[in-house]
Structure 1
Amino acid sequence: MKALAINGSPRAGGNTEIMLKKVLEPLQVAGWTTEYLRIGGKPVWGCLACMMCVQKQNGRCAIEEDGVNDYLAKMYEADAIILGSPTYFADITPELKALIDRTGFVALANGGALSGKIGAAVVAVRRGGASHVFNTINHMFLTSSMIVPGSIYWNLGMGCQKGEVREDEEGMRNMVHLGETIGWLGKTIASSEEPFPKVAVELK
């Protein structure tokens, strides 16, 4: 099985990256293939509402100038998608917002292409606003008919400067538990003989 972690932070080596990689550790131990990507700081266009994804239904976004279609292809291949963001004025980074808007809409336009996949949100925060970031990410998962696992607390870690999140013992412990939960859920889904309910999506 494969888990894909995508970081919306423009800061390499920051707290969001640390937490995402901590989530992946139990999955690696369990034998999953894992991949970490950071889109933050790279040009990512917002959705143009051109509706070409609805017209063409080829599984791709009409905007080809950035790497969103590459990210989308990796999301199609993954069994679990973990999206992480620092808290920017109580919300996600603009890069991650653009990715969510475009990949989420393309997937819906192509028969709910992300349905049945596991989706988890991870949030880095200095002090406040993290719950809204958490909600923004989970809204895309839930609208896409994905399966969102719970954990022992909100999937967030507190820290401002690089590496400070490591001092948040509860936050780091939650990341490990989240990874373990994703691993258990993925194994349970894979062993099920019941197919995931078919998603009928009509966008006009």
Structure 2
Amino acid sequence: MRVGLTGGIGSGKSTVLEMLRQLGAGVIDADAISRATTACGGAAIGPIAQRFGADFIAADGSLDRERMRAHVYANPQARQELEAVIHPLVGAESARQVEQALAQGARCIVFDVPLLVESGRWRRQVDRVLVVDCLPATQIARVVARSALAPEQVQAIMAAQAPRALRLQAADAVIFNDGLSLQQLQAQVQWLAHSFGL
């Protein structure tokens, strides 16, 4: 069983992912793989410098995320160009990690894909889509509490992600993570994990 896990910023998706990992799922973190490609020495750094210019590479040799984020928000075409560099690298490393998880006996692979709905290509690669959802006000409050971002910045990030309604429409299963205790969330995750073969 291949499960695509997604949710908006601040939804609790990372917590759900960790619970699934503890229940024995093989976990493929597409976001972490993507970040590794844009870290110092990452496979995407050379192609990004060629396509966007050396000033998009920070002094430490990693992608200048703030500069790129601003550029992508201002220029939608830039997002497609960046994805054309990063997505093939993420796909190859994800495939390698899947083989490794299967070799270790995983019966369920969970792909943590923040942009699952936006990318369009992921839906064909998974058997089920699990969406972790909560109210937009809850998302903003959680992200403001855990980071130095202002509410307006969080709203801008949310606006760049797939609309909540579109995520819910793409879902085969939804965890509504609003007002739940960790124990209640764990119970929902365990119930779903059973349906995933864990």
User: Fold match, TM over 0.5?
Assistant: no
Q: Aligning the two structures, in what range does the TM-score lie when normalised by the shorter sequence? A: 0.3 to 0.5
Report the TM-score, using the length of structure 2 for normalisation: 0.39
TM-score between the two structures when normalised by the length of structure 1: 0.38
